[in-house]
Amino acid sequence: MRQLPVFIDFEASSIGSGSYPIEVARNLPNGSIEAHLISLAGIDRWTDWSAEAERIHGISRSELIEKGESPAWVCRRMNDQLAGRIVYSDNPDYDSAWLSELFMKTYAGDPSFSLHHVDEPLMDVLRSRIDPEEAAKTVGFAKDEARLLVHVRHRAAKDVEYLMAVYELVCSDSPA
């Protein structure tokens, strides 16, 4: 079985400047997905909350307090699993901000991995086979098809599942 790139996704309290991560998921190269709600307990500075964002992702503040993992534990877990890896996101601007917020405000250390745009491994698969313009179209088609395959979005695990589906679609359309 082909080793998958590692994909990551965050859900957040809002998209405002005071937002913070409330859920994170990533896959491992074997295809398993791990997701964690991130607890707000004891973090006074995480107060920004959007009812609209809650409506979209369906995660309540009380659910985070009741079921969320400690932010420091989440950071340690990710560092242990992802050390030295490149991790891919479909929205690295936002996900980098939430990753930084998570590590800088709740953990005594930096991520042991780096975050890049998901299009990098997708284009790498296609680069040797077709020209860049055609490759970009193929990636776009794969993203559209994956949206049909992964129906529920705006939960971190489902968004990682979507990114894995995009990658598999691009690979299945490409010679081994």
User: What is the spatial distance between Cα 164 and Cα 153, in angstroms, rounded to a whole number?
Assistant: 13
Neighbouring CB atoms inside 10 A of 146's CB total 19
CB contact at 8 A, 42 and 78: no
Show the domains of the chain with their CATH numbers. 1-176 (3.30.420.10)
- Residue 9: the pLDDT is 97
Element (H, E) at 27: strand 21-27
Q: Which two tokens stand for residue 132?
A: 């860049």
Segments in the chain below pLDDT 50: 175-176
Say what the pLDDT of residue 173 is: 65
Please list the residues that pair with 86 across neighbouring strands. 114
| Residue 175 confidence (pLDDT) | 47
pLDDT at 2: 66
Output the pLDDT for position 22.
97
- Which pLDDT score is estimated for 11? 97
Residues near 81 by Cβ (< 8 Å), separated by ≥ 6? 26, 28, 34
